[in-house]
A = this chain, B = another copy of it.
Amino acid sequence: MKFSERVLNMQESPIRKLIPFAEKAKKAGKKVYHLNIGQPDLETPKEFFSTISNLPSKVIAYSHSAGIIELREAFSNYYKKMNIDFDPEDIIITTGGSEAIVFSLAAISDPNDEVIVIEPFYANYKGFAEMLNVKLLPVRAVPENGYAVPPTEEFEKVVTSKTKAIIFSNPSNPTGAVYTREELQRIVDFAKKHDLYIISDEVYKEFTFDGTKHVSIMEFEDKERFIVVDSISKRYSGCGMRIGVFATKNKELYSQVMKFAQSRLCSPVVEQYGTVGILNNISEEYMENVKKEYMKRRDIVYEELSKIEGLSFEKPKGSFYVSVKVPVDNTEEFIKFMLNDFDIDGETVMVAPLNGFYATEGAGLQELRIAYVLEPSKLRRACYILAEGIKAYNNK
């Protein structure tokens, strides 16, 4: 039996494909510190649990395909508090940010059309593009300047008549970069010049440090070309809820995307209600505390990584990742080594190889991504194990 080209061309998730090695390590009795996946260890807000224990109906029925109105209103209020002008009828509740990206790509591009992406990028963009036969045109950001938005000339080099959009995450997964107003203005100007959509993945917008303020794409003019992708996964430690947002002021685009939304009926209803419970009841301190916690962790990782010789990276300003160039020949092989052949007192570390976050063949082979989603003492220990692992890998 044959398979489609699109699935054969698809890479395995760089975040998840080495999990069998981790499972083997655990079976062998090792403890593995998971810094490979952005799965926070913080507790999901209690408002979620209390809401889903008291659902308003005895039938878990389909919801409106755009999501229950209570949730769209709650998100609208949330955005308006941040001066982002989304009304409930600008919002479609999606099954995770993932589905919002799939819907966006499918609504604006046909097979063989192109979408510009700032690389390294959230690895699954590549998977979604493969599934839809959309070609990603990478424009490279580099560790040396903290993975800032590349010069406009680099965008001009790749754009063609088949290019439909630019996609990026800001704050950035995997780099931790937070784009400035000036950087974003350059992207907006470029998009306008070439009549492109901008898909702004703002999932990490509340995760900014050192007084850095996240600038939403919605703060710029020319709103009909903007799509905002959002998710509560990281913000409220609810990755398993699969509650995301597709939002746009472009009414016609909204109607088109609703056709996709209707075809899959609705997003999970229990979690929709639970998210209403969170958004309408959570204290303002909650997110402040979460931010403080991640900033503390960021500082620890930065401090510990700074002790390791030969790394290239900048102090990340946002999200909860840092991408690092390390002195090994191939980070995927290095990670396998860490899981198969290395431990300190029975403990080892799993990180994500950055190669899979690039569309350019062979790029990022010496880079890796660390998700600082563990508590401080564990993070320190994990960084120490990582440093010793690099030495051992290069001495083997």
Contact with B along A94-109 (1 / 0, CB 8 A): 0110110010001111
Q: Is A65 an interface residue (CB 8 A)?
A: yes
Closest Cβ of chain B: how far from A124's Cβ, in Å?
5
Q: Is A396 an interface residue (CB 8 A)?
A: no
Of residues A53, A106, A262, which shows the largest number of chain B Cβ atoms within 10 Å of its Cβ?
Answer: A262
Query: How many chain copies does the complex carry?
Result: 2
For residue A237, which residues in chain B have a CB less than 8 angstroms away from its CB? 59-60
Bound complex: CA A61 to CA B41 (Å): 8
B59 touches A268 (CB 8 A): no
A225 touches B1 (CB 8 A): yes
B110 touches A259 (CB 8 A): no
Closest Cβ of chain B: how far from A10's Cβ, in Å?
5
Of residues A16, A44, A240, which shows the largest number of chain B Cβ atoms within 10 Å of its Cβ?
Answer: A240
A6 touches B124 (CB 8 A): no
A239 touches B60 (CB 8 A): yes
Q: Is A4 an interface residue (CB 8 A)?
A: yes
Binding site for B on A (CB under 8 A): 1-8, 10-13, 16-17, 37, 39-44, 48-49, 52-53, 55, 58-63, 65, 95-96, 98-99, 102, 106-111, 113, 124, 127-128, 131-133, 164, 195, 197, 224-225, 237-242, 250, 252-253, 256-257, 259-260, 262-271, 274
